[in-house]
Chain A
């Protein structure tokens, strides 16, 4: 059984500062993928960044980077230079092999509020 844990129900950050959202995972698989999604108040789910378990480099996408520490089983999202529009729910997710398919499962999310 796998598990995604996001220990921060809510986070606050000042505009233009960096913020780290925590995610730890538990899996017995060697091959897996880790994702972060953003859900603004409008409700849509927006893909931010992906990290494969065999990727040696940390993934980066613009202002988003994923701090992947495999031995610690953590995949923290770092948002640099926060903007007001970054205020949203953020979900960490992991895809694991299940039978012949990969099943993405989600953590409970972190609510991020960016202050001006």
Chain B
């Protein structure tokens, strides 16, 4: 079973469209994240969310919004897509303590490659 799954893996769309990327984790983790990886491979945190707190990177345009219907899902909605939004988007999850041992490692999905034409 895939621990963190994202759909779709590839998304090609026109400028100005609205799109969503879904993310689900079956690890029982309490925190989920969205990262953007640009063409230079830089991974930038966009959002961090658990059932208590949504943390937004202030540099992320408000065209991007996370939506979490429940603890296992964190979807990414993007409005009015722009050329610069083309990137690979990674969903990830973590649990601060696992079996009494602190690791907090991130478990990543496979990434969703978004291309805006």
Contact residues in A for B111 (Cβ distance below 8 Å): 43-45
Contact residues in A for B48 (Cβ distance below 8 Å): 98, 101, 103
Q: For residue B33, which residue of chain A has the nearest CB?
A: A104
Contact yes or no, B88 A89, CB < 8 A: no
Q: For residue A100, which residue of chain B has the nearest CB?
A: B53
In the complex, which of the residues A93, A101, A106, A108 has the most CB atoms of chain B within 10 Å of its own CB atom?
A: A101
Contact yes or no, B53 A95, CB < 8 A: no
Q: For residue A106, which residue of chain B has the nearest CB?
A: B43
Q: Is the interface of B mostly helix, strand, loop or mixed?
A: strand
B interface, size bucket: 20 to 34
In the complex, which of the residues A39, A45, A95, A102 has the most CB atoms of chain B within 10 Å of its own CB atom?
A: A45
Whether A50 contacts B104 in the complex (CB less than 8 A), given A44-B111, A101-B31, comes out as yes
Contact residues in B for A105 (Cβ distance below 8 Å): 45
B94 within 8 A of A: yes
CA distance A57 to B43 in the complex (A): 28
CB-contact partner of A33 in B31, B90, B104, under 8 A: B104
Which A residues are within 8 Å of any B CB, using their own CB?
33, 35, 37, 39, 43-45, 47, 50, 52, 89, 91, 93, 95, 98-106, 108-109
Which B residues are within 8 Å of any A CB, using their own CB?
31, 33, 35, 40-45, 48, 50, 52-53, 55, 88, 90, 92, 94, 96, 102-108, 110-111
- What are 9 A-B pairs with beta-carbon distances under 8 A? A43-B88, A44-B110, A50-B105, A89-B41, A102-B31, A104-B106, A106-B43, A108-B40, A109-B41
